Chain A
Amino acid sequence: MSLFDWFANRQKSGPISKDRQEREIADGLWSKCEACGVLTYTKDLQANQLVCPECSHHIRVHSDERIRQLIDSNTWIAIDTQLVATDPLTFRDRKSYSDRLQETKEKTKLLDAVQTGVGRLDGLPIAFGVMDFRFMGGSMGSVVGEKLTRLIERATRERLPVVIICASGGARMQEGMLSLMQMAKISAALQRLRDARLLYIPVLTHPTTGGVTASFAMLGDIILAEPKATIGFAGRRVVEQTLREKLPDDFQTAEYLLQHGFVDAIVPRTQLKQTLARLIRLHQPAASTTTSTTHLSMHLPEVRSLSVTTPE
């Protein structure tokens, strides 16, 4: 059968039946956009980095996929892959924390809510951390804190820029105060990175809230965000309850934060890799400089918003 015949046959059989449609969605052949409902061939969607070609909705990306999207192939070296959470408080809500961890590990094939490593982004060596919302809402406990701290410490030693993809509901309640203190621990490491004049760029993706917002997400030299991502400190419902009034639709969106001066730029996912590469290159010593030390030539140029700014 020639390709033409196949195409003709396919047209003859008319639009695919609902039954077949559902089967193929189930098989993962087609994906339905959760925002506009349009079906896209999964391979096309992946090629478009899980951004709906129809409505530009940014579908949630898991950590493995993020690494594929941003790190050059065959350059990724995962670090601290053997760190696992214990249950220091023997915490039990409706389920014990130990059971919850076990189930989540089996379901996600991850050990905790962040992957860290070193690799190349468009040829540039970077230290890279990526949170995974599937693992207990990307919550930050001891393991997330330790892995990110080690990543930042390594970057400080090896003089690498740091990029962290944030996606988290905040601190992990099941580890109590140990989780809260991870905010301080990571911030301490970032202070040393900053002292060493190394570049740190967090990318805020949907959602970035709570203790993550109140620590490393907001401590970037340059802060990028994905379109329409929810970013905030207090949960929307908590704010609504406090005020007893309905909040504006754009409240705590990436666009809202850009407008109020808390992110530098909103970058569509399809342009994220090139944007990061461009920013990192802009902070490297100019190739022509031969005598200056890295320290002196690490000047921080003025950053302009890369997206359309709203007049205000």
Chain B
Amino acid sequence: MATTERKPILLDFEKPLAELEARIVQIRELAEENDVDVSDQICQLEAKAVQLRQEIFSGLSPLQRLQVARHPRRPSTLDYIQAIGDEWMELHGDRGGSDDLALVAGVARLAGRPVVMLGHQKGRDTKDNMTRNFGMASPGGYRKVMRLMDHANRFGMPILTFIDTPGAYPGIEAERLGQGEAIAYNLREMFRLDVPIINTVIGEGGSGGALGIGVGDRLLMFEHSVYYVASPEACAAILWRDAAKAPQAAEALKITATDLKQLGVVDEVLPEPIGAAHADPITAAETLKISIVKHLDDLSRLTSQQRQELRYQKFRAIGVFTEIPA
């Protein structure tokens, strides 16, 4: 998991909190130097800091949530896989000439049972981000994870996918290799698989690039993660013809976990520790593991035909329209 010694990266709305915390440290140092007892004051201030943190994170706007979801220290797919798995071995390659590092996949053991885990991998720093292409997958990535999902299906292993991408890579090479076809193929084939599939949005769910590994029996979403049809920036540029209108677009698009639960797109919202997952990755990973194991237990009680039928009906029911009498 992310190491705590590194200097924290502060989002704008976290600044008042950081200032308060700095003041607490200052007072404590001063008190020690001058040998005064200020423990009452410090207790008060610390309580205030906890309250402030709670207030800030419970009242985040959609755009602020987007910032949290994109936080450079937010736990990534590999962080979660390593935290929740008993063991894990990454496997590589689409067997068609490429190994996309923006999508990782492998065999693992979760709470004793063999599973296949896969997901988008964002980089932990600039250099890593170059290797990972900022979590923007290419057709080879979608084909690699499809290969391993097929593998899981043959060996009766449940599939856990972790979604964290700004979107599929919009590059010339990706287009040439059939980005659209690669995603489309996964969408259809994930309905064919009969092992349990659980999808979790751990950070950013960027449009078709997210959906390409997002078909399953359950869709879980961390409280501060987002999932959108078009990024607020792109949406603002297209519909408002002004990229500066991203806050309005973020609001209008209904991208937060609670909004999507209401729309019937998301099955369960996973609560995050106070200050979001990056403040306490271990607790976030525990929440994730408990939820996944619970859903796996539920899904294991069904026959493969029942699972396929329920998966079909789950997506079949999504959409809002009216049918006017003829």
Contacts of A210 in B (CB 8 A): 208
**A155: shortest Cβ distance to chain B, in Å?**
15
- Cβ-based interface call for A296 (8 A): no
- Cβ-based interface call for A29 (8 A): no
**B29: shortest Cβ distance to chain A, in Å?**
49
A232 B235 Cβ-Cβ under 8 A? no
Contacts of B97 in A (CB 8 A): none
Q: How far is the CA of A183 from the CA of B212 in the complex (A)?
A: 10
B320 A82 Cβ-Cβ under 8 A? no
Q: How far is the CA of A226 from the CA of B178 in the complex (A)?
A: 18
Given contacts A214-B183, A251-B175, contact A188 B324 (CB under 8 A): no
B227 A185 Cβ-Cβ under 8 A? no
Q: How far is the CA of A178 from the CA of B253 in the complex (A)?
A: 10
Q: How far is the CA of A143 from the CA of B248 in the complex (A)?
A: 25
- Cβ-based interface call for A211 (8 A): yes
Q: How far is the CA of A88 from the CA of B184 in the complex (A)?
A: 26
A243 B175 Cβ-Cβ under 8 A? no
Q: How far is the CA of A175 from the CA of B230 in the complex (A)?
A: 11
Contacts of B323 in A (CB 8 A): 80, 82-84
A173 B238 Cβ-Cβ under 8 A? yes
- Cβ-based interface call for A196 (8 A): no
- Cβ-based interface call for A39 (8 A): no
Which residues of chain B in 294-326 are interfacial with respect to chain A, using CB atoms and an 8 Å cutoff?
Answer: 311-312, 315-316, 318-326
Q: Which of A216, A217, A238 lies in contact with B170, CB distance below 8 A? A: A238
| Residue on A nearest B238 in the bound complex, by CB | A173
Given contacts A187-B184, A187-B191, A233-B180, contact A93 B253 (CB under 8 A): no
- Cβ-based interface call for B187 (8 A): yes
Given contacts A149-B316, A218-B180, contact A180 B324 (CB under 8 A): no
Given contacts A83-B323, A184-B211, A218-B178, contact A239 B170 (CB under 8 A): yes
**B288: shortest Cβ distance to chain A, in Å?**
21
Contacts of B169 in A (CB 8 A): 242
- Cβ-based interface call for A265 (8 A): no
Q: Which of B180, B263, B319, B325 lies in contact with A146, CB distance below 8 A? A: B319
B180 A93 Cβ-Cβ under 8 A? no
Q: Which of A80, A142, A173, A260 lies in contact with B253, CB distance below 8 A? A: A173
| Residue on A nearest B170 in the bound complex, by CB | A234
Most buried by B among A91, A177, A180: A177
Q: How far is the CA of A86 from the CA of B320 in the complex (A)?
A: 7
Q: Which of A85, A91, A218, A260 lies in contact with B252, CB distance below 8 A? A: A91
- Cβ-based interface call for B171 (8 A): yes
Q: How far is the CA of A182 from the CA of B318 in the complex (A)?
A: 7
Q: How far is the CA of A53 from the CA of B188 in the complex (A)?
A: 40
A176 B228 Cβ-Cβ under 8 A? yes
| Residue on A nearest B248 in the bound complex, by CB | A93
Which residues of chain A in 264-281 are interfacial with respect to chain B, using CB atoms and an 8 Å cutoff?
Answer: none
B230 A184 Cβ-Cβ under 8 A? no
B178 A260 Cβ-Cβ under 8 A? yes
- Cβ-based interface call for B215 (8 A): yes
B319 A92 Cβ-Cβ under 8 A? no
- Cβ-based interface call for A262 (8 A): yes
- Cβ-based interface call for B176 (8 A): yes
**B64: shortest Cβ distance to chain A, in Å?**
18
| Residue on B nearest A231 in the bound complex, by CB | B180
Q: How far is the CA of A105 from the CA of B165 in the complex (A)?
A: 36
Chain B positions near chain A (C-beta within 8 angstroms): 168-172, 174-181, 183-185, 187-189, 191-192, 207-208, 211-212, 214-215, 227-230, 234-235, 238-241, 248-249, 252-255, 260, 263, 265, 311-312, 315-316, 318-326
Chain A positions near chain B (C-beta within 8 angstroms): 80-86, 88-89, 91-94, 142-143, 145-146, 149, 171, 173-185, 187-188, 190-192, 194-195, 210-211, 213-219, 232-235, 238-239, 242-243, 247, 251-252, 260-262
Q: 7 interchain pairs (CB within 8 A)?
A: A89-B252, A143-B321, A177-B229, A177-B263, A192-B191, A234-B171, A243-B171
In the complex, the 10 A-B pairs of residues with the closest C-beta atoms, listed nearest first? A234-B170, A213-B180, A142-B319, A187-B187, A233-B180, A93-B239, A88-B320, A218-B184, A214-B183, A233-B179
